[in-house]
Structure 1
Amino acid sequence: METTINIWIMLFFAFAIQAFVLGILFFLKRKGDRVANNIFGVFLLLFSYNQLFNCAYWSAYEGAYVEHMSFTNFIPWVSYGPLLYIYIKRVLHKTPFTWRDLRHLIPVVWIFWVFGRFYFLPHATKVEVSATNTYAEYVNWWPIPRQYMTYTITFLMLIYVVKIYSLYKREKNKVTELQRFWIRSLWICFTGYTFVFFTYFMLIYFQLMTISNDYLIGYAMVFFIGIVSYFSFMQPSIFSGTIPIPFAKYQNNGLSSSIAVEMKDKLVSLMEADKLYLDNSLTLDVLSEHLNLSRHHTSQLINEHFEVNFFEFVNNYRIDEAIKLLQDKKSRLNINQIIYATGFNNRTSFYNAFKKKTGISPKSYRNKIT
C-alpha cells in the first residue's frame, strides 16, 4: 500500500511533536513539584507516541521496522488513566507514593502479560508473524479474547474518569480555585478523549467507519494537546506542577474578597502548619509559588490582611519561634544556633527583628526569664 500524506496527518504529526516537546519541558523544569512534573511529562510523551503511531497507521507507512510498533499503542491506552489520576492526586495532596499506589500499574503489567513476548521478538520473526498472521503463537489473549481488548480498555478509561472526578470532588477544598480550574480542565479533556475513543470503536463495531471519522481520535488528541499547550505558553508557571490559571477578573486588578480570604487561610496554614518561615531561602517569589499567586498579589495579600510587608511578616513568625526556643529551659541551643534554627541568615537581621518585636535583645530576654 502506498504511503499517503494529507493535511490532517501533517497536523496530527505537528501536534505529536508539540506534545513531545512539552513532555521534555516537564522533565526539565526544576521549580515546583518535580515528581508531579515527571508524571505529567511521561503522560505527554506517551500521548505523543500514540499520535505518531496513529500517523503511521493513517498514512499506511511501511518503514523497515514498522512491525516493532505492532500492539504498542496499547501501552499508552492503559497508562493514560492511571498516570492522570496519580498526577492529580499528587497535585491535591503533595504526599509521597505508597505501596497502594502500585496497584495503578496493574493495567500496564496486564498489557505486557498479553503482548510482552511479541514486543521483544527479533524483527525478522515479527515480519514472518505479520505475513502468516500467526500472532496467537506469541500473544496471550487469555483471559480476554482479542476482539474484546479495546472494549476492556475503554471500560478501564471510564473507571478512571469516575475515579478522578470522585477524587476531585472529595479533595477540591484543599486547593485553590485556580488549581481546581486546571484539574477540571484536565478531567474534561480526558473525559472527552474517552468518549471519542468509545465512539470510534462503536463505529467500527457497527461498520459505520468512514475516512472522515477515522480521524476522530486524532481530533480529540489534538484538542487535549492544544489545551495543555495553551495553558503552558500563556502561563509558564503551569510547569510548577500546581498551576495558577490566568483569570481575567484579577489579572490586572486586586484579588477578589472571596479569593483573598481563601488565600489568607492558606498562607496562615503554610506558615503555622508547614512552618515555611524556617527555610532561610524563603523569598516572596517562593511563597507566591506555594500560594499559586503572582508576586504582586502575594505582596498585596500580606500588606492588606496582615498590615506588614513580606519581610516583617516572615520575621514575626521567626521571632515567635526564637522566643519559644529561648523559653524552653530544656533547650541547649545558644543564641547563634537559634538564629539559624529559626530561618535567619545572619546575626544582625535576627537582633534587629527581635528587638523590634520585643523591645530588648535576645540575650537580655534570656536573662530576664531565667
Structure 2
Amino acid sequence: MFELVTDVIRNFYILSLVLGCIVCLLLFLSKTKTFACSLISIWILLFVTELTQVAFVMTDMMTYTSFISFDAFYGLVFYFYVRFHVEAKKVSFEDVFHTLPICASYLFSMTWEFCFGVVCALSYAIYIVYYLNQHQPTLRIEVTNQQYDNYTWLVVMARFQLICWCLVLFLLSVNDIFSVPVSKLIALASYVPMSFWLFYLSYFNQIKPLYVQGNVSQLGVSPQLHKSQCKSYEHIIRQLNSSMHSDKLFLNPQLSISELAKHINSTSAEVSCTLNTHLNMNFYDFVNRYRVDEAKLLLCKTQHKVLAVAFDAGFNSKSTFNKLFKSYTGLTPSQFRKEACGLFHDDTQRSAKSLSHLLVE
C-alpha cells in the first residue's frame, strides 16, 4: 500500500513537472510578455526545479538531505507580481531588503531553512490577501470590467496560495510524528497543493490572465473632490447623459473613467465626484447599468446567443455579464429572455424616465 501511494504521488509530480515546463515555456515565448509575466514565469520555474528534485528523490536518484528548497522565495515573487498588477510598480533597489531574511535562512541548517521558507511564504500570502482587500474599494470606483476581473483573479490566486501554504505548514508540522518512510512521504506530499495550482492554471484556461498587460491601477486614483465642489456640475451631468444615450460609450468594453472624462472635456475627479454626489453610484455601476439595459434590449429583439449579446452590450467576460445581469434584474439572461421580454418595453421607458430625471435634477 505504501509503495502504491508513493508511485501515485511520484507519477503525479512527473505530470505536474511536464505541465509546469509547458506553462513556463508558453509564458516565456508569449508575444505580449510583460514584467508580471516574467515574475510568474520565475515562480513556476522555481517550483518546477523543486519538482525535479522531488522526482529524483522519489526515484532514489538523489538523497533527501541534498534537497534545495525555494519556499522562502515563492511569497516574495508572488507579492511583486500582485503589486505590479495593482500599482504598476516594478522591483526597485529598496526591494532588496525583502531578500535579506530569505538569504539569511540559507546560512542555517537545511531543516530550519524548510521551516523558515514555509513561514515566510505563508506570511507573504497573508499580507497579499490583506493588500488586495485594502485596494478593493478604490478599484471598484475607477477600473473597467476587464481590470476588475483581473483583480478578482488575483484575489482568488492569493487566497488559494494562502490555503496551500497552510496545508504545507500542517504537513511539515506533523512530519516528525511518524516513522522515517512515512515522514519522508509526508514531506514530499507537501508539494501536492502547489501542483494542483498548476493544473488549475492550465485545465481551467487561467493562463490568459497572466498575459494581460493592463494593470488594475493603470488609470491611477483620481484626486477626490469635496461634495461642495460638485454643486455646479450640471453641465457634466448633461454630458454624461449624452455620452451614454447618444454616443453609447458604454459599448466600449475598455471604457475607463479617464476616457469618459476626456470625451466630455472634464477630469476624472470631477466625473467621479459628480457620479457619487448626484447619482449615488460609482463609475463601475454607472457604466454597467447602461450595458445591462442594452443587453435586455438585445435579448428581446434578437435571437443571438447570450455570449454574443454580452459582447455586443459592452461586456468582455461572460461570467461578469451573468453576475451583473442577475444582480440588476434578479434573473439570468436566459430566464429574462423567456419570462420578462413581454414586460421589458414598459420597464425600459420607466427606467429611462427615472434616470433622465436624476441626470437633470
TM-score w.r.t. structure 2 length?
A: 0.53
CA contact (8 A) 1:26 1:41 kept: yes
Residue 236 (structure 1) aligns with: 208
CA contact (8 A) 2:72 2:121 kept: yes
Q: Which has the larger radius of gyration?
A: 1
Q: For this pair of structures, how many residues does the alignment match?
A: 230
Residue 54 (structure 2) aligns with: 54
Matching residue's letter, 1:36: A
Residue 165 (structure 2) aligns with: 194
Matching residue's letter, 2:76: P
CA contact (8 A) 2:20 2:48 kept: yes
Residue 365 (structure 1) aligns with: none
95, 100, 112: which one pairs with 1:106? 100
- Distance across 2 between alignment mates of 1:95 and 1:221: 26
Matching residue's letter, 2:66: S
**Relative to structure 1, is the Cα distance of residues 230 and 220 closer, same or farther in structure 2, using a 3 angstrom cutoff?**
same
Q: Alignment identity in percent?
A: 11
CA offsets 1:257-279 (integer angstroms, 9 cap, x no match):
x99999553653798889xxxxx
Map of 1:113-152 to 2, 5 A cutoff?
Answer: 114=107, 141=108, 147-152=111-116
Residue 218 (structure 1) aligns with: 191
**Relative to structure 1, is the Cα distance of residues 18 and 100 closer, same or farther in structure 2, using a 3 angstrom cutoff?**
same
Matching residue's letter, 2:78: L
Alpha-carbon distance, 1:13 to partner: 0.8
Residue 72 (structure 1) aligns with: 68
Residue 153 (structure 1) aligns with: 117
Alpha-carbon distance, 1:301 to partner: 3.6
Task: Give 5+ residue unaligned stretches, structure 2.
Answer: 217-249, 269-306, 316-361
- Distance across 2 between alignment mates of 1:146 and 1:180: 37
**Relative to structure 1, is the Cα distance of residues 105 and 160 closer, same or farther in structure 2, using a 3 angstrom cutoff?**
same
**Relative to structure 1, is the Cα distance of residues 169 and 151 closer, same or farther in structure 2, using a 3 angstrom cutoff?**
same
- Distance across 1 between alignment mates of 2:251 and 2:198: 29
- Distance across 1 between alignment mates of 2:203 and 2:75: 22
CA contact (8 A) 2:175 2:183 kept: no
Q: Secondary structure at the match of 1:101?
A: helix
Alpha-carbon distance, 1:42 to partner: 0.4
**Relative to structure 1, is the Cα distance of residues 234 and 205 closer, same or farther in structure 2, using a 3 angstrom cutoff?**
closer
- Distance across 2 between alignment mates of 1:241 and 1:81: 22
CA contact (8 A) 1:79 1:107 kept: no
- Distance across 2 between alignment mates of 1:148 and 1:9: 25
CA contact (8 A) 2:53 2:67 kept: no
82, 85, 102: which one pairs with 2:79? 85
Q: Does 1:268 align with 2:269?
A: no
Q: Secondary structure at the match of 1:39?
A: helix
Map of 1:216-365 to 2, 5 A cutoff?
Answer: 216-231=189-204, 233=205, 236=208, 238-240=210-212, 264-265=256-257, 267-268=259-260, 300-301=313-314
Residue 19 (structure 1) aligns with: 20
Matching residue's letter, 2:56: A
Matching residue's letter, 2:149: L
Residue 342 (structure 1) aligns with: none
Q: Secondary structure at the match of 1:6?
A: helix
- Distance across 2 between alignment mates of 1:71 and 1:41: 22
- Distance across 2 between alignment mates of 1:149 and 1:193: 18
Q: Secondary structure at the match of 1:46?
A: helix
CA offsets 1:210-232 (integer angstroms, 9 cap, x no match):
5764553132122111122234x
**Relative to structure 1, is the Cα distance of residues 224 and 216 closer, same or farther in structure 2, using a 3 angstrom cutoff?**
same
Residue 29 (structure 2) aligns with: 28
- Distance across 1 between alignment mates of 2:262 and 2:189: 45
Alpha-carbon distance, 1:152 to partner: 2.1
Q: Secondary structure at the match of 2:68?
A: coil
Once superposed, what is the RMSD of the aligned Cα atoms? 4.0
- Distance across 2 between alignment mates of 1:266 and 1:230: 36
CA contact (8 A) 1:51 1:221 kept: no
- Distance across 1 between alignment mates of 2:49 and 2:112: 23
- Distance across 2 between alignment mates of 1:154 and 1:223: 17
